[in-house]
Structure 1
Amino acid sequence: MRTRGWKTAICWIALLLAMAVPTQAFAANDTSRHHVLDNIINAKGLKGNILWYDLAANLSRLNSREAVEAMLDKTKQANIDTIVLDVKNYTGYVAYQSAYAPHISTSKIPSYQGYFAPGYDLLQVVLEEARERGIRVHAAVNVFSEGSNDFKDGPAFAHPEWQSHFYYATQVVAAPDGSAYDLFGVDVVRGTNALVKYTPSYTGSPRVNQWGAEAVVVGDTVTTIIDSATTGQIAAVPADGYVLSGHGLARTWILEHLKVGDKVDTTGSKTQIVPANQYPTFSTFVNPLYPEVREYELNIIRELATKYDVDGIVLDRARYSNIYADFSDLSRQAFEQYIGAQVQQWPADIFTITFTEDGKEIVPGPLYQKWIEWRAHNIFNFFYEAKTLVKSIDETLDFSTYVGSWYPYYYNEGVNWGSQDYYPDEPWASPDYHKYGYADMLDFIQTGLYYTDITEQEAIEAGNPEWMSVEGGANQSTEAVNEATFVYGSLYLLQYQHDPERFREAIRTTLDNTHGIMIFDLVYLEWYDWWHILEEELKKSHAPHENPGLSRQTEAE
């Protein structure tokens, strides 16, 4: 059983509890919980300092004991107290010796080749070396993502019956020669084999990478063809037109079927339900409802908690892929059982999809709210099973998750990460949606403050809601969690590339508004050589979730 060394933090804890709890009261109550959590936000010595070690991005930095030692030495020097080690990534491959999941050395994904020997147990090596440095280790499990669609590799392809099924409505781009290709979307991220239409409204930067081809269209006529994969050039979006951008098979279609002067037709559309391996996204999701899937994922969590001396389990991608999943026969049957009635028009009674000049638009059907509620119910139940399992093995193991902080949109993933006492005032939320908030189950939650604007005022001036900022996202997170657990804001370093001072500002804003910070990811600290920034901005601290006395303050009476 894990023990927690807290002698050096007793003064902080005593101060917080004295400020929060009357001398005659010892049990947690709403008032004392509020004061304790609020005081932790303001206390500099009680913050969680977490660094995420992504597996795929750091293969060369973690493929030997010597390499791990070097990374952990830097981590310790940067005042990080906990690392989240990605031991099962989105492809379903693992970096430890598992009785259930395939080892990453067996993957056929090209970028994984030659790094990990078949017997290499990254988790065990990290645990041994982290212990020597006083760093805690939480094992991160990508739960319902089980494969790479790019390379058709992973457990989702060994078990195709597990795959999610997507409600896939697409516009169809037709060429003069009679050929056609499905349009994945308008002003969205271009995925594997996807054809995307980019209009002047798109503001993302960079818009796409070079691994594709693009056709510039003005007045429905192709004016330019660029093969970015060979030239390295990316087309400029014309003010009076758009760009058709294709990756993989879509790139081939553009190059083989379009030429300058051709007229293109984007008015056609079609709707179908397809398995995950036919859906244009990089990760292959499985259906959380399949008993075999749930058993498989729980077995992985069980072996991590029993075979390894980890300090905690972190669930990642413990969700649906997006709003369009899952529409399998199994999901229809389960949903009908949930509502106690048959769905007369499937999937139209859930929602229909129309197309506008700006892209897809979902038109809710009569069962839309209930469907959103039901999906959150399914994920809630899995979290309950997983937490019960983890705590039955060792009640001192921490149980947490990563989610995006964009709560008003996160229902798309079938997740309610807020508290059961939080009642969202949103058009998609049913009266019972709040019942399936899982924040109350967690020892802490990491929410991604993945925004380029830092202050709420910056977001407003950019024409966005105030929560689309580091500060606003932190406030949205604490509001939705509603003091059910500790909130650690997470920063994505790629968004601060070439701007270390903005990164410093983001760190300070996060620490000023949440109970701690998670830095994503190790790879960017190495690329940008920003370790010194963490050393200067993060203070040696004591993560609040590591203290049982403080943790009890977040538990319901």
Structure 2
Amino acid sequence: MMRMKRSLALGAMLLVAGAVAVSAAEKRAEKPTLPLPPRMLWLDNESDPIALASREAVSAMLDKAQDAGFNIVVGDVRSWHGVSFWQSDVGPRASTIEGYPQDFDFLSVLVEEAHKRGMQAHAGMNVFVGGAKAATTGIARQHPEWESVVYDRVAGVQWGDGKTTTARGVNERAGAGVSVFNRTYAEKLYARDTPGNAADGVKGKVASRWVSDNTTTTHWLQLDWKEPQAIDEVVLHFPRGVPAPGVRLMADGKNLASVDANAATELRLPVTSGTQARTLKVEFSDPGNDAMGRLDEIYVMTPAGVNVATSATDTADSSIGRSNAWWVVARNDCVTTVVREASLGAASLAIPPDGFVAVWDDARTSPPAVGERISVAMETRMQRESDHAGGPLIYLNPVNPEVQEHLLALIKEVMGRYDVDGVTLDRVRFDNFKTDFSDVSRRAFEKSQKLKVAHWPDDIYVPANLWTGEEMHKGALYDKWVAWRPSVIREFVEKCRALADEHKVLLGDYVGGWYSEYWEVGVNWASQDYDPSAEFDWAPKGYGKTGYAQLLDYLSPGVYYTAVKKTESPTPDTTIEGGIEIAQRVTGFMLPLAPGLYVPNLNSDVLFEAAVRQSLEQGGGVMIFSQTSMDKQNRWDAARRGLEARPLHPE
């Protein structure tokens, strides 16, 4: 009965959307033509939903966009908040956000003001996102049964008289909550965000980087060894988006190498092989707006290929501490030490051979006391997204027919009620490879493959065990699963294409440009003529059939990199030029591209202008994300200069 009621409700949604569709659709004699080159600006309603909540604010922003040379604005009308920034009769409205005006229709104002200025207005739709875990608004809160189900191996922590929690980090430090470390990793721990975090051999983890709170002088990190070390190569890894523009490397007080205009997050410093040094010092300039230095990792490689940075004594100009956390040391599942992090200074703890450490940074629970029992057990779990300790957003299940019907009703409402020129899809994907493992997805998978899964979900895969180091095990149906997930997304995009044709609007998609990794979220935005199985081991035979570039009027692949030219990085594919080449190759030049640029990654006017020019000249268009960052970094003049560029191959 409940399922019937929900189906009737969803049918009513579509009827409402259909009822309003006549007005806008009838006004359009034909589908708009995409301006070439597309010079697009994404108007963000995520970081500050109130910023564009008035006609005056929208008008002022569109004046800036028009003056800079943009010809398309993409309004974030369904952000990851999971609400509608228009007067929707289908889903929750933005007015459910505290402080948002009850009667303001952002999309209506955007369309009207953009058209006044001769600009196209496209509606940006965050599709399979239902809200944020930290928020109380969003469609996921109204329909928790629509949430994605995560299949993962997690660390359950039990202590005292039966208290339990789930560790948010296993052998790595989470930003909050409880993190657990076995002895191997615990020995590498330091009590603060000290320079040792940048020399622990772990890169790409927020909790394993050095952050300097010095905001007045050049940042420096120094490594000292008891004996001279033969150095073959030094590699610096900066956090994504904040590479240091100027770097100097010194060995025993003498200048060894320097870079004056760095834009790469992975910087390989030229060192004469076999150089001897007992002290190595890295100096670098302010990489970000807050003037604090950040270094993800430093590798000091010997000719034998050994990273000796992990064995050095580390000092630096300053560090940011985490003074509120407790450190809990256990031996034989019994707590032996409980100490405040602030009191440890920069010294590491002595960990018993059979011990482990729990870092307690959780305001909701108190750590166990000395003498209490504590244990860590890895277990596989099926959890709703809102209960999982992963990312901040709640993704809906793309496989669920009710979810699809709801989202299609929203899209139809936008296309039908408003005189939009186009709809730009965003986050048309699964959250990650761990989703979705609901009963709905199992039944749909079995039906599509005409089989029964005997051992669910182990016949798909068994998750890795981070505590023991055991890697993921692929099940008998793994390849079929990998090929099936993007077929779900393609079928949804086909339905969006049909709506766009019905209402005579353009259809675009905003995707991550890192194609070789995007399979993990169940998306194949390439052309069906491209066969990834001939190039990548992860792609099973037949994967190419799930490509959907043919269904779009334009594609915006995010090339969120810090280097523009391939010659500026040791990894050419992770440059703007390399990213555009990949997008052109896998789509076969079959549709217009508007490569997406992330403003914070481009930390100077010169670099930002060069990136905009590269996107237009090579890619034939550009999408800049977003007006919020443009304002914060004052990139409007640089954008104006860059947007003067024209495609080198306009055909």
Show CA shifts across 1:123-177 (max 9, x none).
1111111111111111011111112211243111211221111102113456688
Separation in structure 1 between the aligned mates of residue 37 and residue 577 of structure 2, nearest angstrom: 17
Q: 1:354 to 1:6 in 2, by over 3 A?
A: closer
Amino acid of the structure 2 residue aligned with 1:159: H
Q: Do the aligned partners of 2:596 and 2:622 also contact (CA within 8 Å) in 1?
A: yes
Q: Do the aligned partners of 1:168 and 1:272 also contact (CA within 8 Å) in 2?
A: yes
Separation in structure 1 between the aligned mates of residue 607 and residue 180 of structure 2, nearest angstrom: 31
Secondary structure of 1:488's counterpart equals: coil
Q: Do the aligned partners of 1:170 and 1:185 also contact (CA within 8 Å) in 2?
A: no
Q: Who is 1:412 aligned against?
A: 520
Cα RMSD for the two superposed structures = 3.8
2:147 counterpart (144, 163, 166):
163
Q: Do the aligned partners of 2:127 and 2:407 also contact (CA within 8 Å) in 1?
A: yes
Secondary structure of 2:381's counterpart equals: strand
Equivalent residues in 2 for 1:234-253 (5 A)?
250-253=362-365
Secondary structure of 2:572's counterpart equals: coil
Q: CA deviation at 1:509?
A: 3.1
Higher Cα radius of gyration: 2
Separation in structure 2 between the aligned mates of residue 188 and residue 453 of structure 1, nearest angstrom: 28
Structure with greater proportional strand content? 2
Q: 1:408 to 1:6 in 2, by over 3 A?
A: closer
Amino acid of the structure 2 residue aligned with 1:345: H
Amino acid of the structure 1 residue aligned with 2:590: A
| Identical counterparts, % of pairs | 31
Q: Do the aligned partners of 2:621 and 2:647 also contact (CA within 8 Å) in 1?
A: no
Please state if 1:50 is matched with 2:40.
Answer: yes
Please state if 1:384 is matched with 2:494.
Answer: yes
Q: 1:262 to 1:538 in 2, by over 3 A?
A: farther
Amino acid of the structure 2 residue aligned with 1:409: E
Q: Do the aligned partners of 1:152 and 1:277 also contact (CA within 8 Å) in 2?
A: no
Q: 1:389 to 1:525 in 2, by over 3 A?
A: same
Q: Who is 1:41 aligned against?
A: none
1:355 counterpart (462, 465, 484):
465
Separation in structure 2 between the aligned mates of residue 137 and residue 53 of structure 1, nearest angstrom: 11
Separation in structure 2 between the aligned mates of residue 225 and residue 2 of structure 1, nearest angstrom: 69
Please state if 1:101 is matched with 2:207.
Answer: no
Separation in structure 2 between the aligned mates of residue 430 and residue 170 of structure 1, nearest angstrom: 28
1:340 counterpart (437, 450, 465):
450
Q: CA deviation at 1:204?
A: 5.4
Q: Do the aligned partners of 1:47 and 1:516 also contact (CA within 8 Å) in 2?
A: yes
Secondary structure of 2:574's counterpart equals: coil
Q: Who is 1:504 aligned against?
A: 609
Q: Who is 1:490 aligned against?
A: 596
Separation in structure 1 between the aligned mates of residue 172 and residue 615 of structure 2, nearest angstrom: 28
Q: Who is 1:422 aligned against?
A: 530
Q: CA deviation at 1:289?
A: 2.2
Q: 1:517 to 1:204 in 2, by over 3 A?
A: farther
Equivalent residues in 2 for 1:543-554 (5 A)?
none
Q: Who is 1:526 aligned against?
A: 631
Q: Who is 1:450 aligned against?
A: 560
Secondary structure of 1:476's counterpart equals: helix
Q: 1:251 to 1:467 in 2, by over 3 A?
A: farther
Separation in structure 2 between the aligned mates of residue 237 and residue 309 of structure 1, nearest angstrom: 63
Secondary structure of 2:419's counterpart equals: coil
Please state if 1:272 is matched with 2:273.
Answer: no
Give TM-score scaled by structure 2 length. 0.67
Please state if 1:82 is matched with 2:190.
Answer: no
Which blocks of at least 5 consecutive residues in structure 1 are unaligned?
Answer: 10-45, 108-112, 228-232, 545-549
Amino acid of the structure 2 residue aligned with 1:167: Y
Secondary structure of 2:152's counterpart equals: strand
Secondary structure of 2:429's counterpart equals: coil
1:436 counterpart (505, 530, 546):
546
Q: 1:502 to 1:541 in 2, by over 3 A?
A: closer
Q: CA deviation at 1:354?
A: 2.2
Q: CA deviation at 1:52?
A: 0.5
Separation in structure 2 between the aligned mates of residue 480 and residue 214 of structure 1, nearest angstrom: 47
Equivalent residues in 2 for 1:276-295 (5 A)?
276-280=385-389, 281-295=391-405
Separation in structure 2 between the aligned mates of residue 273 and residue 185 of structure 1, nearest angstrom: 18
Separation in structure 2 between the aligned mates of residue 535 and residue 187 of structure 1, nearest angstrom: 46
Separation in structure 1 between the aligned mates of residue 46 and residue 420 of structure 2, nearest angstrom: 21
Q: 1:364 to 1:240 in 2, by over 3 A?
A: farther
Q: 1:148 to 1:459 in 2, by over 3 A?
A: same
Q: Do the aligned partners of 2:526 and 2:549 also contact (CA within 8 Å) in 1?
A: yes
Separation in structure 1 between the aligned mates of residue 347 and residue 415 of structure 2, nearest angstrom: 51
Q: 1:478 to 1:160 in 2, by over 3 A?
A: same
Q: 1:189 to 1:142 in 2, by over 3 A?
A: farther
Separation in structure 1 between the aligned mates of residue 419 and residue 499 of structure 2, nearest angstrom: 16
1:538 counterpart (637, 643, 648):
643
How many residue pairs get aligned? The number is 486
Q: Who is 2:580 aligned against?
A: 474
Separation in structure 2 between the aligned mates of residue 360 and residue 140 of structure 1, nearest angstrom: 41
Separation in structure 1 between the aligned mates of residue 374 and residue 613 of structure 2, nearest angstrom: 50
Equivalent residues in 2 for 1:308-347 (5 A)?
308-347=418-457
2:485 counterpart (366, 375, 381):
375
Separation in structure 1 between the aligned mates of residue 350 and residue 44 of structure 2, nearest angstrom: 41
Q: 1:361 to 1:75 in 2, by over 3 A?
A: farther
Separation in structure 2 between the aligned mates of residue 211 and residue 500 of structure 1, nearest angstrom: 34
Q: Do the aligned partners of 2:170 and 2:179 also contact (CA within 8 Å) in 1?
A: no
Moved more, 503-512 or 209-218: 209-218
Q: Do the aligned partners of 1:298 and 1:386 also contact (CA within 8 Å) in 2?
A: yes
Amino acid of the structure 2 residue aligned with 1:147: G
1:515 counterpart (620, 629, 644):
620
Separation in structure 2 between the aligned mates of residue 177 and residue 87 of structure 1, nearest angstrom: 49
1:149 counterpart (118, 127, 133):
133
Q: CA deviation at 1:286?
A: 1.4
Amino acid of the structure 2 residue aligned with 1:284: I
Separation in structure 1 between the aligned mates of residue 507 and residue 31 of structure 2, nearest angstrom: 15
Moved more, 339-348 or 304-313: 339-348
Amino acid of the structure 2 residue aligned with 1:398: L
Separation in structure 2 between the aligned mates of residue 264 and residue 422 of structure 1, nearest angstrom: 56
Equivalent residues in 2 for 1:206-225 (5 A)?
214=325, 225=340
Separation in structure 1 between the aligned mates of residue 579 and residue 397 of structure 2, nearest angstrom: 29
Q: CA deviation at 1:449?
A: 1.0
Q: CA deviation at 1:58?
A: 4.0
Q: CA deviation at 1:450?
A: 1.4
Q: 1:278 to 1:514 in 2, by over 3 A?
A: same
Show CA shifts across 1:428-449 (max 9, x none).
2111110011111111111111
Q: CA deviation at 1:284?
A: 1.2
Which blocks of at least 5 consecutive residues in structure 2 are unaligned?
Answer: 1-27, 182-188, 190-196, 212-319
Show CA shifts across 1:365-404 (max 9, x none).
121111011111111000001111111121xx11011111
Q: 1:90 to 1:263 in 2, by over 3 A?
A: same
Q: CA deviation at 1:362?
A: 2.7
Q: 1:170 to 1:391 in 2, by over 3 A?
A: same
